[in-house]
Structure 1
């Protein structure tokens, strides 16, 4: 009797629904002849108890296999493999560094553009190289494309070397262009240095109401230091006083200062401290926030944002996957001026 508990893989770290993981495991085992035509699949009750998942999860996977045309069922006897001749679905391994509002925009646009005929295994590695390596281990061969948002808190050199070892015809990088990655591969990215410089140029008239610009750039973060290059180039070009802050713990708020924040939690802290200091946002203190999200239209009658078009980024990445394109595509930055500046 075949050991289905070794054949069927469920990864608790994967964001892919468990029924799809079971579906994919059985389909892959049929393709590799680990499971043969006429083999009887384990009962729904047995797999439910053994894998510690709900009966409806197993039933959903089996019904999916039946609809796909590789499994049939006999009342009272259960499910069995009826066909081993099939074209396996186009499969994508999708790795995000974290979950956030703008990452959700990328994900939604990416998956909507791909449609329903593509199978996606989705993981979040929390900016951690060890998790990233574990997820990638022995997996790329199973996928048509490996799509990665490559931001890491630690061990950048090891992470880039691992990415560089992937088959370039399968590799799609999203959000960041990494010089260390060589070869003919696909990337849809932000041009961090030029993006912020062009954005601040567009806001130059509003910024002229302030004498100092400060950017909150967290230490030991995954943010590109090219953001700082573009920021300082702009400030030097137009003779603004400027400062780079790692946090707001010891910040003294002085009228005539504009702040650029990158992280959402820093935006909350920044607004709270300005209000507590009884300073007026939009006149005495300016606020610019990275990454447009719907809530920023409403906070304090509107927060000025500088942001990549994340929906365009997700769609462009999907187009490159669907059309098997290669090359590097920079996604344009967008400035949304509101009352906070």
Structure 2
């Protein structure tokens, strides 16, 4: 029960930008969370009354009520009849319970998961779910979860289709609990955490670094499946690089029906495309790393061995997991671009 003379959160600590796209109730909600994170207010502080906030920012009582109801639903504040709204907790001493949504299982996702769990520490609980790039499964997993049981949602948002609907669902989650991993989604409002790949810039920088090795080829061919969750930004970076440096650029969806051409470097994005490509090259007289080249996305141990080593460009998946855990532990809402690197081997 609040004391007779409670600490008071001044209305001036709240922030609202009438020109912003973010709804006003969400801005008020985020403002309270930000003040808590910055230790400007804490448990026992009384929030300004609905009338005070409405008068200060010239917004309707309903807008303020919506922000306060959302704070109350997420356990941040409680209401005392006839006295007002009080901050309940800061979340600092709350045990971390993370709802982790992966789009698929792979060796790379295991690297993220292991680093994430290890960096969060033994007192955290991580609930791993996989939705296999399927929106309906993603939606069902979210709707089956009680938000009151969770401190955070960590989501890798890759979908075969219905991405707009997925974005709307994600946008409805409490932003102070949200961390978007691997890929940024436009249209998610408010302050939330993210650790992401810059897909367009990453492929352009990796190919630029590999430029001295690529000059022996006249054409670059990228394998990009028709039905895929892969970001189109990868293609934008690929074609921009080829145009800037005078390479022929080819996009194919499958290697099965394509002849292997000399003076061509092939870029594979999916693990399933690498082995068929290697098999077809071995049936030709062409020398790998001289007549034809291979550049593959995302490193795995087997790529160090195949044909004496496959050149790869890859994000640092372990770093991605560690950074995500750090943002959660420190209650930060930063957007951090994950490191990307080129590893040169025999195939280029």
- Give the shorter-chain TM-score range: 0.7 to 0.9
Q: Which residue of 1 aligns with 2:42?
A: none
Is 1:101 the counterpart of 2:107 in the alignment?
yes
| Partner-residue secondary structure (3-state), 2:175 | coil
Aligned: 1:218 with 2:225: yes
* Match of residue 34 from structure 1: none
1:248 equivalent in alignment to 2:258? no
TM-score where L is the length of structure 2: 0.72
C-alpha separation in 1, matches of 2:187 and 2:283: 45
RMSD across aligned C-alpha pairs, in angstroms? 1.1
- Give the drift of 1:138: 4.4
2:117 alignment counterpart: 111
Check the 8 A contact 2:256/2:276 in 1, yes or no.
no
2:194 pairs with one of 178, 187, 205: 187
Where 1:213 maps in the other structure, the secondary structure is: strand
Equivalence for 1:277:
284
The equivalent of 2:48 in structure 1 is none
Matched, 1:136 2:142: yes
Question: Is 1:290 the counterpart of 2:297 in the alignment?
Answer: yes
C-alpha separation between the residues in 2 aligned to 1:270 and 1:249?
8
Partner of 1:311: 318
**CA displacement at 1:280 relative to structure 2:** 2.1
| Aligned residue in 2 for 1:22 | none
List gaps (5 residues or longer) in structure 1: 1-86
Question: Counterparts in 2 of 1:1-341, with a 5 A limit?
Answer: 89-139=95-145, 140-341=147-348
Return the offset for 1:279.
2.5
CA distance in 1, matches of 2:331, 2:252: 42
C-alpha offsets along residues 32-64 of structure 1, whole Å, 9 cap, x if unaligned? xxxxxxxxxxxxxxxxxxxxxxxxxxxxxxxxx
Tell me by how many angstroms 1:251 deviates.
0.5
Q: Indicate if the aligned counterparts of 2:310 and 2:347 stay in contact, CA closer than 8 A.
A: yes
Counterpart position of 1:65: none
Length-normalised TM-score, structure 1: 0.73
Q: Give the Cα separation in 1 of the matches to 2:248 and 2:303.
A: 27
> What CA deviation, in whole Å up to 9, does each residue of 1:118-169 have, x standing for no partner?
0111101000011101110142332000001110012111111101110100
How far apart are the structure 1 equivalents of 2:285 and 2:159?
38
Secondary structure of 1:169 counterpart: helix
Corresponding position of 1:28: none
Q: Which runs of 4+ in 1 moved over 3 A?
A: none
Give distance in 1, aligned partners of 2:240 and 2:279.
29
Give 1:249 shift: 2.3
CA distances 1:240-295 after superposition (whole Å, capped 9, x unpaired): 00101111122111110000000001011111111122432111110000011122
The residue that corresponds to 2:24 in the other structure is none
For 2:271 and 2:317, locate their aligned partners in 1 and report how far apart those are by CA, in whole Å: 16
Cα offset, 1:88, TM superposition: 6.5
| Structure 2 unmatched ranges of 5 or more | 1-92
